[in-house]
Structure 1
Amino acid sequence: MSASKPQESGKVRIEPSLNKNEAEFIDGRRKSVLESLKKLQIDCSKDEVPNIALLGSGGGERAMVALLGSLVQLQKTGLLDCILYLSGVSGSTWCMASVYQEPDWSTKLETVKDKIIKRLKDGPKISWKEAFAKLKKYYYEKDHFSLTDIWAVMVITSFVKEIDEHTLTEQWSQHSKDGKVPFPIYTVIDKKCKHHNIGDPWFEITPHEAGYSLTGAFVDASNFGSKFHKGSKKNQQDEFDMLYLQDAWTSIIKCMNQWTWGRNHNFLHNVKGEAVPSTLQETETRDYEDAGLLLNSPYFSVLRKERTIDLIISLDFSEGDPFLTVKEAAKTCKELNIPFPEVNIPQGHSEVPMDFYVFTGQNTPTVIHIPLFNMVNCGGKLKSYNVLNETEISTVFRFKCVHVSSDKIEAWRKKYTTFQGPYNAEMITDLVEVAGKNIINNKDSLLEEIRAAVRQKGSRR
């Protein structure tokens, strides 16, 4: 079966393996990664090519624009072509949805960036007539109309300045032949599983499948939202468009968390089998919401055992504690017996972080964590910390940098909050630049960690 088309199936798939189309694409992408590594003068065999995942956290328009700026610099440094998976939460998915509109976007990213930024800066607002027509379409064509539909049309469009009616499978058909772009994974969570701490809350949507990441229960992406019974499709609903999905992936005001959001048919209703938690089989519908309400970074999509990730590059655009996502990921992985490195943050770094952290462990993926606003790109000068031990880091940090950088970092944080109106042109330009600095300033460190991942993979053969 060609990877250019989604797997046509009206059945639920419950098995611990990759979708065959994803596996086929990844095999081709790894060949492209190998060529890219050679261009970067990293010698390795086909079997030593590391599986690298790039994560974009949530954060509304801040995350959308910052991920865009980061991708541009990754492309300019040649590092983007080393990425196997690109996974996002909330605002990062807005960026992903935009760049994946363009065929082979990684080969012309500067042009794609300019087009997106022009739309954000100068694009006309969606008119009330267009908004009403879209809401009417959602109301009459969808089996379940919820606040997600209203929020998508009335709020998300004010940020992204478009009504994107492409479907995910349509969008992907432009990219799936030659492996020139990373494989995208969009994430949400199951509301009931999250609130009651039962079952599997981690839900992913890829160009081929949608389903529960850790349980291993999936349905074709084109059938997500259709009605199923005992594992077989009963009624077909049109595939969700990207506007609706961008809202399903996106943060909502928590005071509204008790309302009905993201309600859809439960494709696991009355499915039998020990592999599926009983709580996922009981109800005819499930409610899906922004993954950022549980963990504001999509770690558990790439930590699926069958994706065998060697190196995770986490771009953290969160508000508040810049290490919360990686600390929570480590804590949850420990509870679930998922391999993940220990995460120890030096004292004081939560208030004034550096721009590059590496966490390693025995038989775990290596995790690189890059906070958006930090002492380097927000005005600090320290770049020799990579050769300092922890005591020396703390000393330099405390006496030379904290007083200068803390005010500047806080100014950037206050300028770009999650729940504020769409950014103006100057804010977008500045944010693209400051996010890009995190890549430019750490190109050598990123290359060294990729080399280390190659060596580690070679030593396990």
Structure 2
Amino acid sequence: MSASKLQESGEVRIAHSLHTNEEEFVARRRETVFQSLQKLKIHCSKSEVPNIALLGSGGGQRAMVGLLGSLVQLDKAGLLDCILYLSGVSGSTWCMASLYQEPNWSTKLETVKDQIIKRLTGPKVSWGDAFAKLKKYYYEKEIFSLTDVWAVMAVTEYVKEIDKFTLTDQWNQLSKDPFPIYTAIDKHCKEEKEKGGDPWFEISPHEAGYSLTGAFVGTSSFGSQFHNGSKKKPQPETDMLYLQALCGSALADRDEIFKFLWEKIKGEAAFEDSVLPRVDNPKAPPAYKCYQVLTDLVDVNLAVLNGKDYFALEQSIRKTLKELSGSKSHLIFQAGKTNLATKFDVKKFTEGVCKDLSQPLCICISDLVLSICICMAQWIWGRHYNFLHKMTDETVPSTLLKSEKRDYEDAGLLLNSPYFSVLREERDIDLIISLDFSGGDPFKTVKETHKLCEELNIPFPEVNVPSEKAKKPKDFYVFKGKNAPTVIHIPLFNVVNCGDNIEAWRSNYGTFQGSYSAEMITDLMDVAGKNISNNREKLLEQIQAVTEQKRQLMTI
């Protein structure tokens, strides 16, 4: 059965090949690249056209704005139509989602750029709209996680909209732009690397799946329940707001995210109390006691996770629940009570607390808030049904076949650039242009990719950068290797566009901070754009070089 027929039938595709529709699109896009190369006086036959991928790293809104500024300058330099693939991690995917809302955005980028900036500097999404969206996620999705909360409470603060469209919606109007690839990672594979598996997960307009394993499902079916490769129970297709949260949920460390979400949840709870009718129960306990239990419950889970003392918090929860529910709480927790001879079962304890809070006397806590707090206590992000569940395919790592559900998260937690989405052999990439918007070492992504590629036997050039260059990088690096794609690496802040003020720029554009002002956006776009405009001739030189290299290989 063909790839496209498989997707239509809701079946899993196991193959090291491109989806039929991607193949067809690439053929059309290569014609655009060919015409662009002719205009740039880079002459070649159509078969010699190089496959060029542009990568945007993570970095929150810094990456979002930085990628936009870079693309604008690529367009002005006449180089945008040379790009075959556009792939992003985290904040770069926010930029991509905004761009691909507009059909054929690359043909009118200046106008699209102005629209995006106007939105980013405009009013925030209202609490009413945000809360309505959160409830929609909660009641319509079979699996609810902190990614849903992050989408509504965090991502909307930066992108200033609730994007209800889907990737397949976007594909229906896509014809003249680079092929988009959004990237995430499989959390379980990341944490159990020694057991095998493939953490690199990509989501394109046609299919979602494991880049290196070659296991995919139609994008509209990602999240549906599967058994032995066939769809068992459909779920709604992921919308673009959620997709941006799935790809961009690593803006800070766990403690910072927890603080951020908890403040938002308390605000949401207050909002809910003010707009929704409540059950009139004179015996209902004070709401703040219920919320204190939930706060302590999350802290207990964090303490257990970090190996810290949780005993005082546990006892405080037991005491408060007895005050709220009387003997019912005592009976619920008697079996789980800790002593020196038994190991504390934090999962059972968490479930028990939540069960107790759902009792009639504790109706001051809504099901939605309770569910959020359970997710926070157990730190559940990006949970979906596993479309590979119970398959019997020897080419797929066994670790991907066993579990009914999988958790997906920001790829920046493993590698802050989407190299492995374009290093698939079947995509046959000749040149990678890496735009690095990372907040730390500007060479970490390319160095780690080289190391991982060595371990996985994937062709990748040697990367030799003196450690002292990390603090004062230049604006343009080229890495080449035998039988490997050429890699151009461009750090956002460097000695060329920032002079001696690199650290000041990094400080002013932190990854986890409030939304940027109009002036900050303009300045950042200008800095990012200079990395392209200052190096136009070098970019042309490398495009010419890979074109000539491809010509030579084809004559052998």
- 1:9 touches 1:220 (CA, 8 Å); kept in 2? no
Q: Which residue of 2 aligns with 1:247?
A: 245
Match of 1:322 in 2: 442
SS in structure 2 opposite 1:300?
A: helix
1:230-379 alignment, distance < 5 Å:
230-252=228-250, 253-255=252-254, 259-379=379-499
* Secondary structure of the structure 1 residue equivalent to 2:399: helix
Question: Where does residue 115 of structure 1 map in the other structure?
Answer: 115
Write the distance in 1 (CA, Å) between the matches of 2:134 and 2:57.
28
Query: SS state of the match for residue 218, structure 1?
Result: strand
Aligned to 2:53: 53
**In structure 1, how many angstroms separate the alpha carbons of the residues matched to 2:39 and 2:395?**
44
| In 1, Cα distance between equivalents of 2:40 and 2:167 | 32
In the TM superposition, 1:191-210 aligns within 5 A as 191-197=187-193, 198-210=196-208
CA distances 1:263-314 after superposition (whole Å, capped 9, x unpaired): 0000000111111100000100000000000000000000000000000000
Per-residue deviation, 1:165: 0.1
Give runs of aligned pairs for residues 71-82 of structure 1, distance below 5 A: 71-82=71-82
Equivalent pair of 1:314/1:370 in contact (CA under 8 Å): yes
Unaligned runs of 5+ in 2: 258-377
Distance 1:5 1:182 in 2: 24
For residue 491 of structure 2, what is the amino acid of its counterpart?
P
Residues 261 and 289 in structure 1, CA contact (< 8 A), matched pair in contact too: yes
Deviations 1:344-376 (A, max 9, x none): 003521110000000000000000000000000
Distance in 2 between residues matched to 1:291 and 1:105, nearest whole Å: 26
Deviation for aligned residue 1:254: 3.0
Partner residue, 1:410: 503
| Residues 110 and 259 (structure 1), Cα distance of their counterparts in 2 relative to 1, 3 Å cut | same
* CA distance, structure 2, for counterparts of residue 357 and residue 28 of structure 1: 30
Q: Deviations over 1:205-241 (max 9, x none)?
A: 0000000000000000000010000000011111010
Q: Secondary structure at the match of 1:193?
A: helix
Contact kept in structure 1, 2:7 and 2:217, CA below 8 Å: no
Contact 2:6 2:13 in 1 (8 A): no
- Return the offset for 1:140: 1.1
> 1:97 maps to which residue?
97
1:159 is aligned to 2:155: no
Provide the C-alpha distance between the structure 1 equivalents of 2:57 and 2:5, rounded to a whole number of angstroms. Answer: 29
Question: What is the root-mean-square deviation of aligned Cα atoms in Å?
Answer: 1.7
CA distance in 2, matches of 1:142, 1:375: 48
* Equivalent residue number for residue 183 of structure 2: 187
In structure 2, the CA distance between the partners of 1:38 and 1:6, relative to structure 1 (3 Å rule), is farther
Question: Which structure is larger by alpha-carbon Rg, 1 or 2?
Answer: 2
Structure 1 residue 442 corresponds to structure 2 residue 535: yes
How many residues are treated as equivalent by the alignment?
A: 430
Same amino acid, percent of matched pairs = 71
Match of 1:130, as an amino acid? Answer: D
Indicate yes or no: 2:526 matched with 1:433: yes
Query: For 1:132-173, what per-residue CA distance to the aligned partner results, in whole angstroms no more than 9, with x for missing partners?
Result: 110111011111000000110011000000000000000111
2:447 counterpart of 1:451: no
- TM-score normalised to the size of structure 2? 0.76
Distance 1:41 1:346 in 2: 36
Which amino acid is the alignment partner of residue 182 of structure 1? P
2:126 counterpart of 1:141: no
Following the alignment from structure 2 to structure 1, what is the Cα–Cα distance between the partners of residues 511 and 381? Answer: 20
Give me the whole-angstrom Cα distance separating, in 2, the residues matched to 1:78 and 1:271: 47
Q: Structure 2: which amino acid aligns with 1:174?
A: Q
Summarize the Cα distance change of 1:450–1:5 in structure 2 as closer, same or farther, 3 Å threshold: farther
Structure 2 partner of 1:228: 226
Partner Cα distance (2:522, 2:190) in 1: 37
Q: Which is further off, 130-139 or 253-262?
A: 253-262
> Could you state the TM-score of these two structures normalised by the residue count of structure 1?
0.91
Structure 1 residue 125: Cα displacement = 1.3
Give per-residue Cα distances to partners, 1:378-408, cap 9 Å, x unaligned. Answer: 13xxxxxxxxxxxxxxxxxxxxxxxxx2xx0
Unaligned stretches of 5+ residues in structure 1:
380-404
Q: Residue 214 of structure 2 corresponds to which residue in structure 1?
A: 216
1:6 CA drift (Å): 11
1:4 deviation in Å?
Answer: 12
Q: Could you tell me which residue of structure 2 aligns to residue 168 of structure 1? A: 167
Aligned to 1:32: 32
What is the CA distance between 1:7 and its match in structure 2?
4.5
> Are 1:203 and 1:213, in contact at CA under 8 Å, matched by a contact in 2?
yes
Cα distance in 1 for residues equivalent to 2:77 and 2:125: 36
In the alignment, which residue of structure 2 is the partner of 1:129? 128
CA distance in 1, matches of 2:481, 2:475: 21
Opposite residue 188 of structure 1, the aligned amino acid is: A
8 Å contact from structure 2 (residues 18, 427) kept in 1: yes
Q: Is the 8 A contact 1:5 1:169 kept in 2?
A: no
Q: Which whole-Å CA distance do the structure 1 matches of 2:6 and 2:114 have between them? A: 30
3-state SS of the aligned residue for 1:281? helix
Aligned letter for 1:112? Answer: V
The equivalent of 2:70 in structure 1 is 70
Aligned partners of 1:254, 1:187: CA distance in 2, in Å? 20
Structure 1 CA distance for aligned equivalents of residues 488 and 6 of structure 2: 32
For the 8 Å contact 2:56–2:417, the answer to whether it is kept is yes
Matching residue's letter, 2:484: T
Name the one with the larger helix percent.
2
Instruction: Give the aligned partner of residue 514 of structure 2.
Output: 421
Whole-angstrom CA distance in 2 between matches of 1:363 and 1:167: 37
